[in-house]
Amino acid sequence: MNDGFCPICGGPVTNETSVGHINTGLQPHHHQLKAFCEACQIVLERMIAGRRDTGWLSSSVSEQDVIGDLSEEEVAQVENLLGNYPALLRQWHEFIGQKRATDVVCRFKEQDSPYTGLTLKRANYLIGRFSVSRNL
């Protein structure tokens, strides 16, 4: 387990914050956390449910769920679409702000969701996830 360390560079994580708590009425409750890796300049995520702990992940998106790359024009279209939703636009800026020049924005589709979302591909790693209740 990479408790306290970035899964990409092995450096320490900072600014650990709770971003969600899911209570499905069944035990255990799910706790969602995020933190930051200064070296990689990325937001990390973590899910803890009882004794199950994912550890810090650069993305909770699975490689097999990636279905294609977005062009720069498609990325601009996403930003234009979100321009009418200030809270989503802030989340988008946090997500896309992690992108380096060599990163590729990818679309993903998880089996249990009717919608597509976005993640970044950096070398052999996926970075972050951005999704809303519609296809992106």
User: Residue 29's domain spans which residues?
Assistant: 13-53
Q: What is the pLDDT of residue 2?
A: 55
Mean pLDDT of 99-106: 96
Q: What is the pLDDT of residue 82?
A: 93
In this structure, is residue 44 part of a structural domain?
yes
Q: What is the pLDDT of residue 30?
A: 82
Q: Which one has a higher pLDDT value, 132 or 93?
A: 93
Q: What is the pLDDT of residue 130?
A: 94
Q: How many domains does the chain have?
A: 2
Residue 108 class from Cβ within 10 Å (0-12 exposed, 13-18 middle, 19+ buried)? buried
- Determine contact, residues 118/106, Cβ cutoff 8 Å: yes
Question: What distance in Å separates the CA atoms of residue 2 and residue 12, rounded to the nearest whole number?
Answer: 10
In this structure, is residue 58 part of a structural domain?
no
- The residue type found at 129 is R
Q: How far is CA 30 from CA 3, 35, 92, 127, in A?
A: 17, 17, 24, 22
Question: Is residue 1 scored above 60 in pLDDT?
Answer: no
* Structure-token pair, residue 116: 């597509």
Mean pLDDT of 67-80: 94
Question: What distance in Å separates the CA atoms of residue 3 and residue 44, rounded to the nearest whole number?
Answer: 12
Grouping H, G, I as helix, E, B as strand and the rest as coil, residue 16 is strand
Mean pLDDT of 85-91: 93
Residue 122 shares a structural domain with residue 72: yes
Residue 35 shares a structural domain with residue 74: no
Mean pLDDT of 8-37: 85
Pairing of strands 125-130, 116-122: antiparallel
Q: What is the pLDDT of residue 59?
A: 94
* Dihedral, CA of residue 126, residue 14, residue 6 and residue 11, to nearest 10: 130
Upper half-sphere CA count for residue 1 (Cβ side, 13 Å): 10
Residue 19 shares a structural domain with residue 75: no
Mean pLDDT of 28-46: 90
Q: Which one has a higher pLDDT value, 104 or 21?
A: 104
In this structure, is residue 8 part of a structural domain?
no
Q: What is the pLDDT of residue 51?
A: 83
In this structure, is residue 4 part of a structural domain?
no
- The residue type found at 113 is S
In this structure, is residue 6 part of a structural domain?
no
Q: What is the pLDDT of residue 29?
A: 76
